[in-house]
Structure 1
Amino acid sequence: MIKVGLIGAGGIASAHIKGYRQHADKIGVTAVADAVEETATKRGEELGATPYAGDQAYREMLANEDLDAVDICLPHHLHRDAIVAAAEAGKHILCEKPLCLSAEEAADVRKAVVKSGVTLMCAHNQLFMPAVAKARELLQAGTIGTVYEVRTTDSFYNDFDPSSMGWRASSKTSGGGELIDTGYHPTYLMLHLAGGLPVEATAMLSTHRLKFMEGEDSAQVLIKFDNGVVGQLVTSWAYQPAASTERFSAVGELGSLTSDGTTLSYRLRSGETETFDFEPVDTFVAEIGHFADSLLGKTRPLHTEEEGIAVLGILLAAYEGSRSKTIAPVLKV
């Protein structure tokens, strides 16, 4: 069994833990590190894992525990240091989004992972939606021909308030605002469906409702890829999208496809149409299973640091485009 050290035991860790329970025959959490002693202790008891608490908790865990991998569920600004420490300790890595927060941090991550030879998987759970997998299959098969445009949306009414938002209210610890948080999801989905590398981007950022936070609560982003695909992305914590809004869509020379996340349809100019319905999937459970299978089979995960850095590049260019009111290049790391 793959032995995992959980780094950061609150928040999103609960969703990951469901995955470890479902795949207990091949992967499990044997140690837990968290800055808060109560959280580390409770998670340790829940999982039958050794708890480590305090500011240096995960470093102590890496030094003392016989682990194969770590699962990083920390606030955004702590990702880079935890990735580098785990890589230097020779542990494989599953890291929650965003991978890190700057081009400099991305360079550190790449250097550490390449030097150590460990596998890093980005926790891009929405790629495990069956509709996404089917859409990518259809696009790669040329069903709608050369792709011209991809659109993604991830908006909802977030009930954050100043007492509950925590570190996400600060641009220093979150890396920006909604775009680099929930907006990371439609960005990696965009990358996954566009089939190319991002070359430039710009954004219009807004704070419609959550005015107590430092960053934006909503964003509209335009992205151009090296294969000619143009992406349009909408993401928000301020509002529910209109009822007719697609989760994702693509338009090509032969037709188009669209999905609400649970169904997928394509329509060709020839008149051919087809609709697919999918059973709901816990994407976090699927993500943990994929991580385990990648390590056991020594295969490349769906998204590694390469895609994580590409997604970050889109977001950094979008932020720069918004600041400078230009179309900004995606920097190479």
Structure 2
Amino acid sequence: MTIKVGLIGCGGITGTHIRGYLRIPEQVKVAAVSDVVTANAEKRAQEVGGAEIFSDYNEMLAKADIDAVDICLPHHLHKDAIVAAANAKKHILCEKPLCLTVQEAEAVQQAVSQNGVTLMCAHNQLTMPPVARVKQMIQEGTFGKVYELRTTDSFFNKFDPKNMGWRAQRAMIGGGELIDTGYHPTYLLLYLASSEPVEVTAMLSKHRLEFMDGEDSAQVLVRFADGSVGNIVTSWAYVPASITEKFSLVAEKGSAYSYGSDLFYKLNGEEEQKIELSSVDTFAEEIKDFVTCLQEGRRPVNTEVEGTNVLKVILGAYKSVEEKRTISLADMA
């Protein structure tokens, strides 16, 4: 069965999603596109080889012959689009973050559950081969009890007041860098952890992008129910040191880290091992997984449940900074 998809939002990130759809034409077709900017919608329709064009996604949901939608809107518009798509009985792929508040997340979960549709959060970095391999090793008990984890995502962002757009405004982005790029190492940390997050402590910084409402850098500590501790490091302010890993862990029986597309691990008393893995187009792999989940009736790894947990960690981090204390995630409501 070929899955027919409608794009909601045709901005910059949509191009990487289209690349994924075009790789698997036997499985999926982008049949409709919607954007309030007509030129953006026309451009995307042309890129997919022709698609029905709408200026209002509600009209697209009502009229287009589609099975699913791919939401690529600014953060503050996610919740309404998800709920509308779920109520129209369409399956959903939504760019990060899921939404901006716990109340919005509850509305999303209710709409998805009531309508029996599948929602997949666009957590593309989970498709990186080192992530899949180390997750398997953790589950197999290779490292024993995991003590600490660290995930990172930092780069020198060339944003300035002229080109940053909605991301410079806290009301639209939902905070600052942490809820945008920092969302990636947050979901990666929670994926690799073997337990539920229970406490969050954070420090936010504005090292360089002074014109932003929110932070340009963040460090977050997360305590999990099993006693393990996670550290998130993320920034738009700087190029990280060349030795900075994508993720690392220390555990009862050894340690591991990812550098580039390779995975390194060392068990106690043994020499360090290197597993060479091929790099992949993570967005294309994400798109393929979404389409395959729909065709097979399989639950995505990262649904609205996982998306809500990620959101709670980030919102807990913001609350930690505001109140200058450690936040219990059980109190995030």
Structure 1 counterpart of 2:87: 88
CA distance in 2, matches of 1:302, 1:284: 15
CA distance in 2, matches of 1:244, 1:44: 42
Amino acid at match of 1:203: A
Amino acid at match of 1:49: A
Structure 2 counterpart of 1:201: 200
CA distance in 2, matches of 1:195, 1:306: 16
CA distance in 2, matches of 1:279, 1:79: 33
CA drift at 1:44: 1.7
Structure 2 counterpart of 1:210: 209
Amino acid at match of 2:24: H
Structure 2 counterpart of 1:130: 129
CA distance in 1, matches of 2:326, 2:88: 40
Could you tell me which runs of 5 or more consecutive residues in structure 1 were left unpaired when the two chains were aligned: none
Q: Confirm whether residue 293 of structure 1 aligns to residue 292 of structure 2.
A: yes
Amino acid at match of 1:27: V
Structure 2 counterpart of 1:20: 21
Task: Name the count of aligned residue pairs.
Answer: 330
Matches within 5 A, 1:72-221: 72-221=71-220
CA distance in 2, matches of 1:87, 1:226: 32
Structure 1 counterpart of 2:45: 44
What SS does the corresponding residue of 2:33 show, helix, strand or coil? strand
TM (normalized to structure 1)? 0.97
TM (normalized to structure 2)? 0.97
Could you tell me which runs of 5 or more consecutive residues in structure 2 were left unpaired when the two chains were aligned: none
Amino acid at match of 1:304: T
CA distance in 1, matches of 2:104, 2:195: 23
Superimposed CA distance per residue, residues 250-293 of structure 1 (whole angstroms, 9 cap, x where no aligned partner): 11111100112411111111215321111110001100110011
Amino acid at match of 1:5: G
**Kept after mapping to 2: 8 A contact 1:97/1:122:** yes
Structure 2 counterpart of 1:274: 273
Runs ≥4 residues deviating over 2 A:
none
What SS does the corresponding residue of 2:186 show, helix, strand or coil? helix
Amino acid at match of 1:291: F
What SS does the corresponding residue of 1:41 show, helix, strand or coil? helix
What SS does the corresponding residue of 2:207 show, helix, strand or coil? coil
CA distance in 2, matches of 1:180, 1:84: 21
Amino acid at match of 2:61: L
CA distance in 2, matches of 1:225, 1:82: 32
CA distance in 2, matches of 1:303, 1:23: 21
Structure 2 counterpart of 1:32: 33
Structure 2 counterpart of 1:2: 3
What SS does the corresponding residue of 1:131 show, helix, strand or coil? helix
Superimposed CA distance per residue, residues 28-61 of structure 1 (whole angstroms, 9 cap, x where no aligned partner): 21000001111112222322101111xxx10000
What SS does the corresponding residue of 1:216 show, helix, strand or coil? coil
What SS does the corresponding residue of 2:286 show, helix, strand or coil? helix
The more displaced of 207-216 and 262-271 is 262-271
**Kept after mapping to 2: 8 A contact 1:43/1:51:** no
CA drift at 1:228: 1.6
